Amino acid sequence: MHAHPDFLAHFDAALRGGPLPAGLTARDAAEVERRFAVYRNNVAVSLTEALATRFPVIRRLVGAEYFAPLARLYAEADRPKSPVLAEWGAGFAGFLDGFAPLSAYPYLGDVARIEYARGRAFHAADASPVDPARLAAADPGRVRLVLHPSVALLGLTHPAVSVWARNQPGGETLPLAAGPQTALILRDAAFQVPVQAIGPGDAALLRAVLAGACLSDAAAAAQRAEPGHDPQPLLVTLMRAGAMTDATE
């Protein structure tokens, strides 16, 4: 009988189509292979369904019939490391980037990055929003904003935010942007996870805030990235979403 780590390795190899690990039994020895084949198929189907749940837009873009074998190929390359399948799929965007048969659709990896970030945002830890009075009384030259754990900023090579938006219910007529986009993703107070394309000033401000800069320094970074930038609309958006959780000096 194999040691436990070796057994797990052999068992995983068998799930991928390799020989069965030692120690598997059935009342009828001839049934072992057939029964394991059923289990192997169930695992493959479960992983495919988990990936489809996490990346519904990718599934829609490539089609359900194409997505199923694509998911199986990905599962062969990147097995789940945790029994919590909602945590699986971090490498799917990179897998799509390098998948030669889909090279004519280079935006798919960025769309997958949006979908994975949305899942992480939805499951992020809870945090109470900051008291607006405390924020109003703070010195902009010293105050450092702490953002909700769900807040993510994605610099994308392609117009993936608009691709994602066009594949939401009712989004078919939305315009398709050209060129790279930066995505702001967060979980709002209603537990929705919107995706917003933001400009270079907003992106610079958020990067600085996430790096721990004080608000005045973050605003200066935004001005350098986009002269004339007004930080107020973004700050109001974050406040209304409950995405500011603290203001320290």
The answer to whether residue 204 is domain-embedded is yes
The answer to whether residue 142 is domain-embedded is yes
Q: Residue 77 corresponds to which tokens in the numbers above?
A: 């390359």
3-state helix, strand, coil in the chain (%, to 5): 50, 10, 40
Closest of 163, 223, 172 to residue 199, by C-alpha: 223
User: Domain residues for 199?
Assistant: 126-249
The confidence score (pLDDT) of residue 1 equals 44
The answer to whether residue 175 is domain-embedded is yes
Position 131, amino acid: D
Confidence of residue 194 (pLDDT cuts 50, 70, 90): very high
Residue that wins the pLDDT comparison between 85 and 22: 85
The answer to whether residue 55 is domain-embedded is no
The answer to whether residue 143 is domain-embedded is yes
HSE at residue 131, side-chain half, CA atoms within 13 A, is 5
Q: Residue 133 corresponds to which tokens in the numbers above?
A: 């009075």
The answer to whether residue 41 is domain-embedded is no
| CA–CA gap between residue 91 and residue 8 (Å, rounded) | 22
Give the global pTM: 0.87
Question: How does DSSP classify residue 98?
Answer: T
Adjacency order of strands within the sheet including 152-156 = 152-156, 181-185, 195-198
Confidence of residue 249 (pLDDT cuts 50, 70, 90): confident
Question: How does DSSP classify residue 74?
Answer: H
Query: What mean pLDDT value characterizes the chain?
Result: 89
The answer to whether residue 240 is domain-embedded is yes
| CA–CA gap between residue 62 and residue 228 (Å, rounded) | 41
Confidence of residue 18 (pLDDT cuts 50, 70, 90): low
The answer to whether residue 63 is domain-embedded is no
Phi-psi region of 140 (alpha: psi -120 to 50; beta: other; left: phi over 0): alpha
Q: In the chain, how many domains are there?
A: 1
CB 199 within 8 A of CB 226: yes
**Strands 152-156 vs 181-185: parallel, antiparallel or unpaired:** antiparallel
What element of type H or E holds 213? none
Residues 36-46 have pLDDT tens digits of 666 566 677 88
Q: What percent of the chain has pLDDT over 70?
A: 83
